[in-house]
Amino acid sequence: MADAFLSTSDVANFNDTDMDLVVSDVLDAAPVLARLAARSVRGNAFVYGKKTANPAVSFRSANDGNENTKSTLTQITATLAIIDGSFAIDQAVAQADERGVEHAVGFAAMSHLQQLFREVEEQVFNGTGNDATGFNGFADLSNLDGLADAQVVDAGGTTASTGSSVYLIRTGEPDVQLLWGQDGEISIGERQIVPWDGSSSGSFPAIYHPISGWAGLKIGSVNSVVRIANCTEDSGKELTDDLIAQALAIFPAGLGPNVIAMNRRSHRQLQQGRTATNPTGAPAPFPSESFGVPIEVTDSIGSTETLLV
> What was the pLDDT predicted at 69?
86
Instruction: Answer positive or negative: Cα dihedral of 178, 181, 184, 187.
Output: negative
Span 236-242, average pLDDT: 98
Please state the pTM of the whole predicted model: 0.90
> How confident is the model over 59-100, as pLDDT tens digits?
989 999 888 888 888 888 999 999 999 999 999 999 999 999
Span 143-158, average pLDDT: 97
> What was the pLDDT predicted at 80?
98
Please name the residue ranges forming H helices in 22-180: 31-35, 91-95, 101-126
Highest mean pLDDT among 29-33, 147-151, 184-188: 147-151
Residue ranges of domains in the chain = 8-51+74-297
Distance CA 231, CA 270 (A): 11
Phi, psi of 122 (to 5 degrees): -60, -35
> What was the pLDDT predicted at 1?
43
pLDDT for residue 31 is more than 50: yes
> What was the pLDDT predicted at 16?
56
pLDDT for residue 22 is more than 80: no
pLDDT for residue 30 is more than 70: yes
> What was the pLDDT predicted at 2?
56
Q: Of 238, 186, 215, 166, which Cα lies nearest the Cα of 45?
A: 215
As a CATH number, domain 8-51+74-297 is: 3.30.2400.10
> What was the pLDDT predicted at 20?
46
> What was the pLDDT predicted at 75?
87
> What was the pLDDT predicted at 24?
66
pLDDT for residue 296 is more than 60: yes
| Structure confidence at residue 17 as a pLDDT band (50, 70, 90) | very low
Distance CA 305, CA 292 (A): 28
| Structure confidence at residue 6 as a pLDDT band (50, 70, 90) | confident
Distance CA 30, CA 295 (A): 14
pLDDT averaged over every residue in the chain: 92
